[in-house]
Structure 1
Amino acid sequence: MTLRQNAILEVDALERRFDVSAPWLNRLIERKPRKTLRAVDGVDFVIQRGQTLALVGESGCGKSTIAKLVTGLHAPSGGNIRFHGDRDRLQMIFQDPFASLNPRWRVARIIAEPLRTLKPGTPEAQVSARVDELLGIVGLAPADGLKFPHEFSGGQRQRISIARALAGEPEFLVCDEPTSALDVSVQAQVLNLMKRLQKEMGLTYLFISHDLSVVRHMADVIAVMYLGRIVEIQPTADLFANPLHPYTQLLLDTIPDLEAPRRDRSPMGGEVPSPVSPPSGCSFHPRCPLAFDRCRTERPQRRPQIHNRRVACFAAEEGTADVQ
């Protein structure tokens, strides 16, 4: 079986542009042109059934926009998204469990809503029994269905969000920073729950995060994003053992190391450029310690001859990408 034959999601040359221009009259008076923000700029990846692919990168790099494109909350400006499955079995877990749960509904109604929407006509007794079952699956009690979201802790609210997603009997879950709003100890509990559910139910995850420590625990494959593009994609173990892109190397260098707490580290300099007016050539070159003339004028691609399409970097192509 080839890579594509076992794929549940294929994304090719995906783009999403937003018009961020000033109002027409302001542009006319100030003689300013339209401005376009390229939130996602030519992204491609494949996710296998039962796999977790993580998208990581700094805030504003386009991770959450990809999540919304995959789930249909945004329409692509270009490229293709091919989901090889039932679209009704694609669900999303949002970053903020309090904002994503209706505060006026009891938990039982929140979890039951996907059941009533996707399977209209289901007897109420069956719906109620399924809600109780789902609450148990995520570590809550059936009596919790009578409460409102504000009566729970952040970790418990995220468990409710997971139960709601499971109510639709998904095969694919898009998880947009599902633990970033939680305390570290609670994060571990929720992540372990998600790992268990994936194993028991054969779920596939697209996992969005800015925390490499989290994705190391969750992901089979990691795609590193910078300014709307994937600059490196590797199996998790390979990426941590041998990061190829200078940006990935610098991201990994920010993770605390208990074995070498006083190790010399080169802090990442500069700010992320604006996606409205990105730099020419490689978008990372203003912050890259290995940038040379070609980086400033030519845009690198993940080509087959460059580490089997795993990295878009001229320094990596020439074998000089080592900032350790």
Structure 2
Amino acid sequence: MSDALVQVQDLSRRFDVSAPWLTRVIERRPRQWLQAVDGVSFEIERGRTLALVGESGCGKSTVARVLVGLYAPSAGQVLFDGRDAHAVYASADALALRRRVQMIFQDPYASLNPRWRVGDIVGEPLREHGLAPDAAAREGRVAELLQSVGLAAADGAKFPHQFSGGQRQRVSIARALATAPEFLVCDEPTSALDVSVQAQVLNLMKDLQRERGLTYLFISHNLAVVRHVSDEVGVMYLGRLVERAPTRRLFAMPRHPYTRMLLDAIPSLAAPGRARTPVQGDVPNPLQPPSGCGFHPRCPLANARCRAERPVLRAVDEGGVVACHAVEEGRG
């Protein structure tokens, strides 16, 4: 039996980005669709962390929003504890599932209501889910949650503007923990913070994971952060997973040319004199993706097969999978 808490199977999500109906009629233009996520599959075991990385616009945040039910999948399936999550979200059991799945958003300045006191922000999930029978019990629980993330109980009387960015993100984490969830989707939770504050928040999240047995999906474009927090890494490009492997193996021996390109751009303390290799080229227009492998216009190993045939994920050494013709044929 699989110990996976979350299973994503061939997940796709597309958006209608067509011009208004009248414009399409006058100009005789067809409807236009953006394929944000295209056939993504992965599993996350209980108590583990999977990180999704990639350049902006590759579909990471769309995957996150599908998992928490903010978007419905266009195709594929998300299983949570063996049940179809989106069938549950549409049923009478939706509230019970939402207690078990919570999200930490990217921007702590935009995700907290500036008109509410912190005590009301953290206490809202308790009230909505009926987890505190009265105001006194709710106040006591809010104090416990604030203290669990390194804030004081008295901070519940303050407004968000009275806190620094790192403290605001701690408030967001306390709010996410209010329903005692099992699975947290973290959408770049430290990208808006200073580097020193990032380390504090990441260490807090790791401590909470150990104490509570939490399962994380961690979305980031910062590979240094990913290396610190994750057990497994999935690399996304143009809505598809191009490589997935245990963190240590991926950083030690990246297989896909795109993964190698991302890692080559990171400064190294071990080799301070080494010139950084910038990520080459630009991401293609997702409305007009390239034929075959989506990475072939930027890939130094591309050949005619790469331009004509889309690769599929294949198992490689030490538990990793990669979608690359060059790796399959031993060209690089």
Task: Classify the TM-score, shorter chain.
Answer: over 0.9
In structure 2, distance between residues paired with 1:123 and 1:279: 57
Match for residue 48 of structure 1? 45
Shift of 1:267: 2.9
Contact 1:306 1:312 in 2 (8 A): no
- Are residues 1:260 and 2:271 paired? yes
- Are residues 1:72 and 2:83 paired? no
The residue type paired with residue 196 of structure 1 is D
In structure 2, distance between residues paired with 1:262 and 1:27: 55
SS of residue paired to 1:98: coil
Query: What TM-score do the two structures reach when normalised by structure 1?
Result: 0.95
Shift of 1:261: 2.6
Shift of 1:123: 2.2
Match for residue 167 of structure 2? 156
In structure 2, distance between residues paired with 1:135 and 1:245: 42
In structure 2, distance between residues paired with 1:202 and 1:177: 21
Match for residue 181 of structure 1? 192
Contact 2:166 2:193 in 1 (8 A): yes
Structure 1 runs of 4+ aligned residues shifted over 4 Å read: 304-309
SS of residue paired to 1:103: coil
Out of 114-123 and 271-280, give the one that drifted further. Answer: 114-123
Match for residue 330 of structure 2? 319
1:60-116 Cα deviation digits (max 9, x unpaired)? 000000000000000000000001175121100000112111111100011111111
Match for residue 10 of structure 2? 13
1:224-277 Cα deviation digits (max 9, x unpaired)? 000000000000000001101000000001110122233245433221011111
In structure 2, distance between residues paired with 1:29 and 1:306: 55
In structure 2, distance between residues paired with 1:244 and 1:28: 47
Contact 2:50 2:217 in 1 (8 A): yes
SS of residue paired to 2:263: helix
2:304 to 287, 293, 297: 293
In structure 2, distance between residues paired with 1:268 and 1:62: 18
Match for residue 247 of structure 1? 258
Listed as ranges, the matches of 1:109-124 within 5 Å are 109-119=120-130, 122-124=133-135
The residue type paired with residue 55 of structure 2 is E
Query: What TM-score do the two structures reach when normalised by structure 2?
Result: 0.93
Listed as ranges, the matches of 1:1-324 within 5 Å are 2=1, 5-84=2-81, 87=97, 88-119=99-130, 122-304=133-315, 310-321=321-332
The residue type paired with residue 13 of structure 1 is D
Out of 296-305 and 38-47, give the one that drifted further. Answer: 296-305
The residue type paired with residue 217 of structure 1 is H
Shift of 1:308: 6.1
1:162-212 Cα deviation digits (max 9, x unpaired)? 000111101100000000000000000000000000000100000000000
SS of residue paired to 2:38: strand
The residue type paired with residue 20 of structure 1 is V
In structure 2, distance between residues paired with 1:307 and 1:293: 29
Contact 1:302 1:309 in 2 (8 A): no
Contact 1:198 1:204 in 2 (8 A): yes
Change (3 A) 1:290 1:306: farther
Shift of 1:307: 7.9
Out of 26-35 and 179-188, give the one that drifted further. Answer: 26-35
SS of residue paired to 1:47: strand
The residue type paired with residue 159 of structure 1 is R
SS of residue paired to 2:313: coil
Q: Which runs of 5+ in 1 are unaligned?
A: none
SS of residue paired to 2:306: helix
Identity, % of aligned positions? 66
Q: Which runs of 5+ in 2 are unaligned?
A: 83-95
The residue type paired with residue 41 of structure 1 is D
Shift of 1:118: 1.1
The residue type paired with residue 281 of structure 2 is G
Contact 1:268 1:287 in 2 (8 A): no
Structural RMSD (CA): 1.5
Out of 149-158 and 256-265, give the one that drifted further. Answer: 256-265
Count residues in correspondence.
Answer: 318
In structure 2, distance between residues paired with 1:312 and 1:225: 11
